[in-house]
Amino acid sequence: MHTVAIAGGSRSEIKELVQLSLEDWGDQVKFIVFDTEDNIDSDDLWEYRGYSSEEEMVREAVRSVASGESGILLKGGIKTHTLLKEVLKKEYKLKKQDLLSHVALVNLPALDRHILLTDAGMNITPDDDQLEQIINNAIQVGQSIGLKKPKVALISSAENVNPKMPSSLTADRLTKRFKDHEEATVYGPISLDLSLSEAAVASKRFTGPIAGDADIIVVPNIDVGNVLYKTFLLFGDATIGGSIVGTNVPIVLTSRSDKVRSKLYALRFALMQAESNQ
């Protein structure tokens, strides 16, 4: 059984998420809700723990995963900064990597497979060393959900190295860093169409280690990631679920503006990672 600690979970949108999760997974998953608000449901749905302050509530939710009582941490009706500030405290020993990053599992109807997108939600303008860690985090997550040797595309506007295009220079440097990596193929610069579309590859007569079959999309900065993420959602009819990785447990960051299917997808993504960690 997987136990999910929800910080700020006594909310109608979280209740719907929990109900759907229990319909899908039954007794395979258990929920503990930590909140300052009154319990909006019974203990048949979740275990409720009430607190007098948000500070105490967040602290106890994080302690639940740090102690091993829970295996997944999910953000409910609180600010992301509030939760992550507590998670990063050294006393919990939750960080297993120097750099945390955001990885999203993307289901695009136009593709016949899932892809991962990173980092569209945490690191703003990563340097080469930070991008290296972001890539390593994504590779580890990819392997945890069954990608044995993922193909990692380092996105730029084109597939050529252009001295006037910083993202192409960065991608080229990172490709060289990973050239001897045995557990993944890391390649760039490469454009989005050549990363995901075999038709574009054929039309442009492109040859390379990634040719329309990328498993992981790595963006050069959060602006590119944010635009791509929202484009997938708004115009690609995508279902996307993301989590913070680089910690000992998956951390699911949902928003009240997310559709329920995306929240459920994010939790499913976290459960896949938790299953691999066991």
The answer, yes or no, to whether residue 71 has pLDDT greater than 90, is yes
pLDDT band at 257 (very low <50, low <70, confident <90, very high): low
State which fold the 2-96+247-277 domain adopts: Isopropylmalate Dehydrogenase (3.40.718)
Alpha-helical regions (H) of the chain: 12-25, 54-66, 80-87, 128-144, 166-177, 192-196, 198-204, 222-235, 260-277
Q: Which uninterrupted H or E stretch holds 241? A: strand 239-245
The whole-number pLDDT of residue 262 equals 82
Distance, CA of 4 to CA of 70 (rounded, Å): 6
The whole-number pLDDT of residue 278 equals 60
Average pLDDT, stretch 62-76?
Answer: 95
Q: Which uninterrupted H or E stretch holds 189? A: strand 185-190
Tens digit of each residue's pLDDT (9 = 90 or more) over 156-192:
998 999 999 999 999 999 999 999 999 999 999 999 9
Distance, CA of 238 to CA of 98 (rounded, Å): 31
Total-model pTM: 0.88
Average pLDDT, stretch 246-260?
Answer: 80
Q: How many CA atoms lie within 13 A of 169 on its CB side?
A: 6
CATH 3.40.718.10 placement within the chain: 2-96+247-277, 102-235
* Average pLDDT in the chain: 92
Highest CATH level, class, for 102-235: alpha beta
Are 175 and 183 in contact by the 8 Å Cβ rule? The answer is no
Tens digit of each residue's pLDDT (9 = 90 or more) over 74-90:
999 898 889 999 999 99
